[in-house]
Each structure stands twice: as C-alpha cells, then as structure tokens.
Amino acid sequence: MDFLELLGAATRRNDSMLCVGLDPDPARFPAQLRGDGGRIYDFCAAIVDATADLVCAFKPQIAYFAAQRAEDQLERLMQHMRVNAPQVPIILDAKRGDIGSTAEQYAREAFERYGADAVTLSPFMGFDSVEPYLRYPGKGAFLLCRTSNPGGADLQAQRLADAPGQPLLYEHLAQLVQGPWNTNGQLGLVVGATYPAEIERVRALAPTVPLLIPGVGAQGGDVRATVRAGWRESGPIVVNSSRAILYAGGEADFAAAARAAAQSTREQLNAARALT
C-alpha cells in the first residue's frame, strides 16, 4: 500500500485520528530510565507497544534522537514498529528543506535508511526542494503550512502581492499542494491545532489532502475545534499528541499511563467527529 492507503486503513482499523509523536527526552523518562540516553529505544518501544491499536500513525521526531547520538536507536525503533505494528504508518518528523543533491540525500535518509512512510518538510525553498521526495513511489510528505508556534505568522501570514487574489503565504501553499505540486498524490500539509480558523481555511483550499495537526495536548489545542475545522470525509486528519501521552506517567507503569492518555485522546477526537 502507498502512504495514504496505509493511513486510511489504520484510521479505519483502529477507529482513530490520533498520531502519537515520539519525542524522547531522557530527562523526562520514568524514574528507572531517567537521564539515560541509552534507553531511548526501550522507552519508545514500550510506548509503541502500548498504543499501536489506538493510533493512525506514529511520528518520531529525529532531533530528539540525533541530539542524544541515538540514530542507531531510531533505526532499531523503526524496525520494531515495522515488525510489531506493521499496520501503522510512520511519519518521520524531520522538517528538511534543501535543494538538488542535498535534498536527494535527505530523501534517501528518510525513506531508505529509516524506512519511513512519510516525512515532514519545509517548503520555503520551493518545489525543487520537495520533488526529490516525490520520486519514491507511494511515499508521503507533509509540508509545513500554518504551524502551531506563534512565530509562524512572521512569514506564513504575510500577503503575496504578486499572486492572483493576493493570498497569504500559507493559503498559497495550500493551493499548490492541492494542485500542481502534488505530482505523486501523496502530499499533505502541517497545520497547527492552536489556530483552528486557519485549519478551516486550509481545508477549504485543500479539501482532499491529509492534514497533520500538531498542538493537541501539551500545547493546548482544542480537540473539538480542531476536528470541526479540519475533518472531512474527503480529507483525512492526523492529530498529533506527543508529551501529553509520552509523559502521562512517571513510574514503572508509564506505558500503561501512556495508553490511557492515548485512549482518552482518541475518544475525544471521535466524539468531536460525531458532532461535525
């Protein structure tokens, strides 16, 4: 299956729009693992095993592994997910953005070294920074569009004077991803749960592409507003929660606590969908 088929199948099988972000910070690990960067794999694998039947995707954030010199543990984790949760797609959160041969190497890193099903990208350098990823059949890419951080508006909310209709930058990007840039049919957009009005605008401009929506949980995004703004029968949403699930418990039962937090979030998302 290609990425969107895998995502759709996982969404239906697990009745879930929830993505668990894997952002391992050893300083926040449970007591028996705390501060040990060599136990990142153990921590994340336990979270995966506890939540695999509750999610539509996993999203490991590469920086949390690289900062701990734990790329080898990320490779092991990717293999663990392939073996133990093969039905759940993996989105590598890398936010790469470069051109030419460098972009080709980043694409190779994401799809060949780590075996991700999709990757997050920064589109600031234009389509030729995205195109190398589209050469991989069936692989997905989510382009940063209207991000959850306050500073995102510094550029994303600027108006393009020379574009037809003078759209905001993030609106223009949504139109490109719905249209000419989506040459392999596997592109999506990243929009933050902290800005539901912008989610709704992006969805209006890009009615069929998947939206990866971070910001629910520790960042305070409203679940009901997020689902109402972004979910459509024609366009899936992937709602990410990281810290609120990973660090739901600080003791030996941390994986069970993570499962309970994931189950609660999934139920809130589904309840919100039922009201749309």
- Give tens-digit pLDDT for 14-46: 999 999 999 999 999 999 999 999 999 999 999
Range of the domain at 14: 3-274
Strand partners, 91: 118
Token representation of residue 257: 């606590």
How confident is the model over 141-189, as pLDDT tens digits? Answer: 999 998 888 788 887 888 887 778 889 989 999 999 999 999 999 999 9
Cα–Cα distance measured from residue 199 to residue 196, given in angstroms and rounded to the nearest whole number: 5
Give pLDDT, residue 217: 66
Identify the CATH number of the domain in which residue 137 sits: 3.20.20.70
Task: Give whole-number Cα distances, 6 to 55, 88, 189, 236, in Å.
Answer: 12, 7, 17, 12
97: Cα within 13 Å, side-chain hemisphere: 12
* Residue from 95, 224, 232, 243 carrying the catalytic annotation: 95
CA neighbours closer than 13 Å in the CB half-sphere of residue 59: 27
Show the tokens assigned to 174. 């949504």
Confidence of residue 258 (pLDDT cuts 50, 70, 90): very high
> Which CA distances in Å does 198 have to 145, 193, 263?
10, 9, 27
**Which pLDDT score is estimated for 164?**
82
Query: What's the predicted TM-score (pTM) here?
Result: 0.95
Whether 139 sits among the annotated catalytic residues: the reply is no
pLDDT tens by residue, 201-214: 999 999 999 999 99
Q: Angle of helix 196-205 relative to helix 169-178, nearest 10 degrees? A: 40
Q: How many domains does the chain have?
A: 1
CB-CB contact of 145 with 190 (8 Å): yes
Give the C-alpha separation, 18 to 15, whole Å.
9
Strands (E), the chain: 18-22, 57-60, 91-96, 118-121, 140-146, 187-191, 211-213, 237-241
Check residue 250 and give its pLDDT.
87
In the chain, the percentage of residues whose pLDDT exceeds 90 is: 86
